[in-house]
Amino acid sequence: MAVETLLRRGLYRDSVTLMRLAAALEARPGVARASAVMATPANLRMLAEHGVPAGGTEAGPNDLLIAVEGEDADVLARALDEAAALLEGGDAPAASVAGAAAPPRPRSLAEARDALPEATLALISCPGEYAAAEAAKALRLGLDAMIFSDNVPVGDEVALKREAERRGRVVMGPDCGTAIVGGVPLGFANRVRRGSVGVVGASGTGIQQAACLIDRLGAGISHAIGTGGRDLSREVGGATTLRALAMLAEDEDTGTVVLVSKPPDEAVMRRVLDAAAETGKPVVACFVGAVPPPTLPAGMRFAATLDEAAALAAGVAVAPADIDLPRAAGRNRLVGLFSGGTLCYEAQAVAAPVLGRVLSNAPLDPGDTLDGDPGGAHVMLDLGDDAFTRGRPHPMIDYGPRLERIRDAAAAPDTAAILIDVVLGTGAHEDPAAALAPVIGEFDGPVAIGSVCGTEADPQRLSRQEAALREAGTIVAGSNAQAARIAARIASGEGS
Amino acid sequence: MSGGLLKGAPAVLNLGVGAFAEAIGAAGGSVVDIDWRPPAGGAREAGTELAALVNHPRIEAANREAFGRFLAAEPRVTGIGSAIDVLPGMGARTVLHAGAPVAWEAMCGPMRGAVLGAILFEGWADDLDGALSLAESGAIAFDPCHHHRAVGPMSGITSPSMPMWIVENADGGNAAFSGLNEGLGKVLRFGANRPEVIERLRWMRDGLAGVLARALGEGGPIELKPLIAQALHMGDEAHNRNAAATSLLIKRLVPPALRSGADPESVARAFAFMAGNDHFFINLSMAACKAMLDAARGVPFSSMVTAMARNGVEFGIRTSGTGDRWFTAPAPVVDGLYFSGFGKEDAARDIGDSAITETAGLGGFAMAAAPAIVRFVGGSASEAIAASREMRRITIGENPAFTLPILDFAAAPAGIDARKVADGGVLPIVNTGIAHREAGVGQIGAGITAAPMGCFVQAVRALYRELAAAGEVPAA
């Protein structure tokens, strides 16, 4: 028989704790006998009587002594390791009086990481002035970060993305409204079917529209990675887009890649297109409103609109819907009122060739910036713009201000068509059609045209929303681009 | 690591919009929803600096070192000596006080009263008028106890001939000191300075100290960590309840005192005095905590808090990695329970070095050990348990030497990390007595207060500058 001992100086435990500890050690296979005592003279004598050579350890009454006896020294060493661990840990908190209360929610990223050690990603949607610091913490903790918050200075964005690159991590955003990773929706996101199309986008509603249309065409999404609206600017240089393309290139679930953005910086666009070609996968690039580059790398296709991009990605040919256009007699003005920035931009890109000049707070051309009263000009407003949301919830959530503008536009004698988008999904209004229907139902003269960005699996349900809008008299198109085409034709007097 | 984001369903820490966490959970992702508020009390620049310190390898390593030294400390009381003889740097005309440095002009009522009492006790003046002129004359040097390895409860007033407990750390070789406790009622530490107060102090110096010194000489040093651990299992938290520890100390001292050859009448009077004061042990508890925490001082880049102390005007803290600096904010008025006839308007601001016990993981941090006094400090037993758990959020770890029976013998949280306080906004709680704002009235209540955020924000910023100077973070 061998005996191994563990002495912890100055560590006090009561006798009940020590007896339980000894019992736990004795229950281990290969441990013939175990003792755990405070090393008082009486206890040391007792151990000596049992043949435990505690002498020479200079153990005193304030020291805790553990002795285990058995045949195999390795077994005994492991038993003492367990004893040490038990001494550190105390008993596991159990269903005692103290165990009843739920643990409080973590108050910081660092604390939350301790609560969820397998965490991979921080989703940050605090006020923008604090978002960069929280993202920096996430990177320091070895996490990827998605920054939903906006109003983060571009300098902070550049610094964060540089740091992410150094650490082999990804920063999505700032102002990254949506992402879908491994089937999990992040931020404003729709419940889309899983599939083989990977989406990378600098635009939140652009990603949502592309993903929902792909879902509607029967295909599905592997991952959708948001990069933040400024990622393809000259300052940021496409840092996250390039990372995302590299990740999708390696991702086995992704067969086709869709790139979605407003027109990027020229030099950045070339770099991104080269990187997209290097993925070795079919790529559909949709830079909404941009002129297609004269030459495209092999395997890459260019889509002018999001519905075209979705069709190319899903491998489905979509015939233009053939509908009878209603006529808005004596009216010739188009008013678009949007909650999605990219949807507003896409609608302008579709309508402008038909109608000519369209004024906007987020115009295709800076010369078309709306400044004051538009007079008789066509107008499309992005109501999600900071200028409208300051101190108010986003128009996808709060329909009040948009309903007000819809009423005003409908009352104007020259309004022929009012074009709207309706965005469903997590975070959006719980029943947008119910909010819109009473207002649209009162239209006398203008035509309401809209599209719903969503899926059957979304909590608001796509088909229910579309039906309720049609019921109220809205022409509901299958996509935002189609809705814009229809609205432009009505405003140009093409209807009959 | 490229592609790590896309490997499987993400595990998400959600910070901000709660609905996003629900959606992640509904889709089968694992998620923790953070109860977030702006860090560093909303100070944006400080918050940005703090971010650079989170999970910083230099700080993590420094904290392991500092916390390890703290845990390894073995404080033992080895003797009694006069302040002038045992305190490093103590001057012949120096009076020590609690907390961070404070000038005579700025001192609160109880501290001024205690200073005058100490002048009378030392015989530097014949009456209160003389004592006042002397204090105002600038002939007395005032200095924090903490600057001389000492700690004192309430006003903490310590003068050269006062007897001090000598507590030595057998592991680190450092020593800490604290005076002998006078009891409750009209006592110097609350600012009382009438003749009976001075007479009691003189007996403590000329009678009690000798008995204790001989007993310790006869019986040898007393290990304080195991004694405190045992007291925690007997309902003490070693700050506002010391009934068990006082009894345990008396048990350890009586036999050697009787064997020491001291005059039996003196021995009897000494033990009658100790037995009549359930708080007698608090000064030893404080000195033990000071010895453990001083072992952790001076580790470059460590964010571990090594002292929290109040001078009646300001609440001050020190951290291991920022040298001798104090980081201060106005001391709070304690929101507690008051003895009948008194209210908040009578209260002095939070005062005393006794928050050293919380700094070491006792007092408010070990509140779950002391359900018997939770009502005295204005809480319920379940709140006490919650408080001990809450403090684990802001500590580097736990002290396995101190366990809490009602929490299934979980170790008490210890080693406050200034970064964690600033980041999550959970403030260290302090169990405290409340002094009357006028000198000499004494204790008028008790309660729980919290260390102010401002101290920790300053500490974090100072640590950031240390790291910036070493090129470990971007320069501000």
Domain membership of residue A48 (yes or no) is yes
CB B187 within 8 A of CB B276: no
Structural domain tally of chain B? 2
Task: Indicate if B222 and B365 belong to the same structural domain.
Answer: no
Q: Which residues of A touch B36 (CB under 8 A)?
A: 107-108, 126
A246 contacts B420? CB cut-off 8 A: no
Task: Indicate if B271 and B136 belong to the same structural domain.
Answer: yes
Q: What's A6's domain CATH number?
A: 3.30.70.60
pLDDT of amino acid A169: 95
- Per the structure, the complete domain to which residue B447 belongs is given by 54-66+298-469
B223 contacts A122? CB cut-off 8 A: no
Candidate from B31, B33, B34 with C-beta closest to A108: B34
Task: Indicate if A294 and A367 belong to the same structural domain.
Answer: no
Task: Indicate if B365 and B243 belong to the same structural domain.
Answer: no
With tokens 């010391």, the residue in question is B242
Task: Indicate if A276 and A241 belong to the same structural domain.
Answer: yes
Nearest residue in chain B measured CA to CA from A125: B16
Domain membership of residue A15 (yes or no) is yes
Q: What's B324's domain CATH number?
A: 3.90.1700.10
B44 contacts A105? CB cut-off 8 A: no
| Domain boundary residue, one of B268, B287, B306 | B287
Task: Indicate if B274 and B167 belong to the same structural domain.
Answer: yes
Task: Indicate if A66 and A32 belong to the same structural domain.
Answer: yes
ipTM rounded to 2 decimals: 0.91
Q: Which helix (H) or strand (E) holds A420?
A: strand A415-423
**Euclidean distance between the first and final Cα of chain A, in Å?**
104
DSSP letters, A351-409, are HHHHHS-EEESS-SSGGGB--S--TTSEEEEETTSHHHHTTS--TTT--HHHHHHHHHH
Task: Indicate if A207 and A299 belong to the same structural domain.
Answer: yes
Task: Quote the Cα angle for A447-A451-A456, to 5°.
Answer: 140
Task: Indicate if A184 and A291 belong to the same structural domain.
Answer: yes
B400 contacts A182? CB cut-off 8 A: no
Task: Indicate if B240 and B186 belong to the same structural domain.
Answer: yes
Task: Indicate if A85 and A138 belong to the same structural domain.
Answer: no
Nearest residue in chain A measured CA to CA from B411: A90
Task: Indicate if B62 and B92 belong to the same structural domain.
Answer: no
Q: What's A463's domain CATH number?
A: 3.40.50.261
What are B437's two structure tokens? 């704002």
CA distance B120 to B113: 11
Asked if B38 reaches chain A (Cβ–Cβ under 8 Å), the answer is yes
B34 contacts A106? CB cut-off 8 A: yes
B390 contacts A141? CB cut-off 8 A: no
Task: Indicate if B246 and B381 belong to the same structural domain.
Answer: no
Structural domain tally of chain A? 3
Give residues 258 to 317 of A whose Cβ lies within 8 Å of B. Answer: none
Secondary structure (3-state) at B452: coil
Task: Indicate if B238 and B99 belong to the same structural domain.
Answer: yes
CA distance A327 to chain B (A): 43
Task: Indicate if B424 and B376 belong to the same structural domain.
Answer: yes
Domain membership of residue A323 (yes or no) is no
> What is chain A's pLDDT, residue by residue, as a tens digit (496 residues)?
888 888 888 787 766 677 778 878 888 888 988 888 888 777 888 778 777 765 556 788 778 889 898 989 899 999 999 898 888 765 444 333 444 456 789 999 999 999 999 999 999 999 889 999 999 999 999 999 999 998 899 999 999 999 999 999 999 999 999 999 988 999 988 999 999 999 999 988 999 999 999 999 999 999 999 999 999 999 999 999 999 999 999 999 999 999 999 989 899 999 999 999 999 999 999 999 888 877 888 889 999 999 999 999 998 877 666 777 887 778 999 999 999 999 999 999 999 999 999 999 999 999 999 988 888 899 999 998 878 877 677 899 889 999 999 999 999 999 999 999 999 998 889 999 999 999 999 999 999 999 999 999 999 999 999 999 999 999 999 999 999 999 999 999 876 5
Dmax of chain B from CA atoms?
Answer: 82
B401 contacts A184? CB cut-off 8 A: no
- Per the structure, the complete domain to which residue A341 belongs is given by 333-491
Task: Indicate if B104 and B156 belong to the same structural domain.
Answer: yes
pLDDT of amino acid B108: 96
Instruction: Find, among A89, A114, A91, A115, the residue nearest to A102 by Cα.
Output: A115
Asked if B407 reaches chain A (Cβ–Cβ under 8 Å), the answer is yes
Interface test with B, best of A7, A8, A12 (most B CBs within 10 A): A12
Give residues 207 to 266 of A whose Cβ lies within 8 Å of B. Answer: 223, 225, 243, 246-248, 250-251, 253
Residue-wise pLDDT for B148-187, tens only, equals 999 999 999 999 999 999 999 999 899 999 999 999 888 9
In A62-162, DSSP assigns E strands to 64-70, 121-124, 144-147
What are A319's two structure tokens? 């015939």
Measured CA distances, A475 to A68, A263, A454, A472, B82 (Å)? 83, 29, 17, 9, 94
Domain membership of residue A328 (yes or no) is no
Secondary structure (3-state) at A156: helix
CA distance B52 to chain A (A): 7
